Amino acid sequence: MKQIYLSVVIPCFDEMANLRKGVLSKVEHFLSKQKYNYEVIVVDDGSKDGSVGFIKKLIHDYPQFSLICSEHLGKAGAVTKGVLQAKGTYILFTDMDQATPIEEIEKILPYFDKFDIVIGSRNTKREGAPLSRQIVSRGALILKKLIIGMGDISDTQCGFKAFKHDVANIIFPKIANIHHGYKIISGSAVTAGFDMELLFLALKWGYKIKEVSVSWMYVETRRVSPVHDSIEGLRDLLIIKKNNSMGKYDRV
């Protein structure tokens, strides 16, 4: 069996609206035309809207696709499950809504000659996003610099991040261990802390990160609340600062 070059991990929680738009078929259509071997791992995070049945039926004809069914652990838990089962030389996690389309991986892969982690960045471009989202994003950038540093990374939250396999298998278990694993939750759980913590730990441990501008289109979602997300983001920043001061991010 040939080595898998690229693993794509896609978390799913009640995603029927996006699935009906054919997002996974678009992913398959692009990747099937590439010269490298790939796999797509969809991690269902306890969906209740029929997403699992839809995905099972769809991927029956896509041999490079697989489905992991998980209890509802939140995006962090779902992504971590997928990443740690991925076999690719490079591992990308991306959102089901494909706000950043899979084609943007072509901008990411060339940088792995010199970098350990390559992340998509919207920079100041938030095409289609309401003004409230843009204001929150700018405010979050300022707070991030003030509280935990990371001033060289302009966009920690774009859902398009790729890792070398060995780097992912060091960082993701560490994050999971810090939080004593991921616990069953209720409701949606997509917080800023997961992405920020991953990148903070990677920088602290000396991994090289490249931020690459990618296309991104705002996709309306019921899971976005500017006020609630701002409060959660500030809380997560303070937790990361506290964890760092307590030595939880130290390499042992």
Tokens of 138: 């700018």
pLDDT, tens digit (0-9, with 9 covering 90-100), for 3-25: 999 999 999 999 999 999 999 99
Span 58-77, pLDDT tens digits: 999 999 999 999 999 999 99
Span 139-150, mean pLDDT? 79
Identify the pLDDT of residue 191: 65
Separation CA 190–CA 221 (nearest Å)? 12
- As a whole number, mean pLDDT of residues 111-136 equals 75
CA distances from 41 to 25, 64, 174 (A): 14, 9, 21
For 123, the token pair is 């920079």
Chain-wide mean pLDDT for the chain? 89
Per-residue pLDDT tens over the stretch 192-206: 689 999 999 999 999
- Give the pLDDT of residue 132: 52
For position 124, what pLDDT does the model report?
Answer: 54
Domain boundaries, the chain: 6-245
- Identify the bridge partners of residue 65 per DSSP, sorted by sequence position: 40
**What's residue 164's pLDDT?**
98
- Indicate the pLDDT class of residue 183, thresholds 50, 70 and 90: confident
Q: What value does the mean pLDDT take over residues 165-170?
A: 98
Q: What is the rounded distance in angstroms from the CA atom of residue 33 to the CA atom of residue 83? A: 23
pLDDT of residue 133 exceeding 60:
no
Alpha-carbon separation of residue 217 from 47, 108, 109, 140, 230 (angstroms): 24, 18, 21, 19, 21
Q: Residues 38, 36, 13, CA angle at the centre, nearest 5°?
A: 25
Cα end-to-end distance, the chain, whole Å: 35
Q: Which two tokens stand for residue 136?
A: 């929150």
The domain defined by 6-245 carries CATH number 3.90.550.10: yes
Percent of the chain with pLDDT over 90: 71
Which residues, in sequence order, are CB contacts of 90 under 8 Å at separation 6+? 5, 6, 7, 109, 112, 162, 163, 164, 165
- Residue 125 makes CB contacts below 8 A (sequence gap 6+) with 213, 216
pTM of the model: 0.90
Q: How confident is the model at residue 226 (pLDDT cuts 50, 70, 90)?
A: low
More confident residue, 185 or 129: 185
Give the contacts of 221 (CB within 8 A, at least 6 positions apart): 97
How far, CA to CA in Å, does 127 sit from each of 77, 192, 208, 216, 219? Answer: 29, 20, 28, 7, 10
Q: Which two tokens stand for residue 21?
A: 């738009």
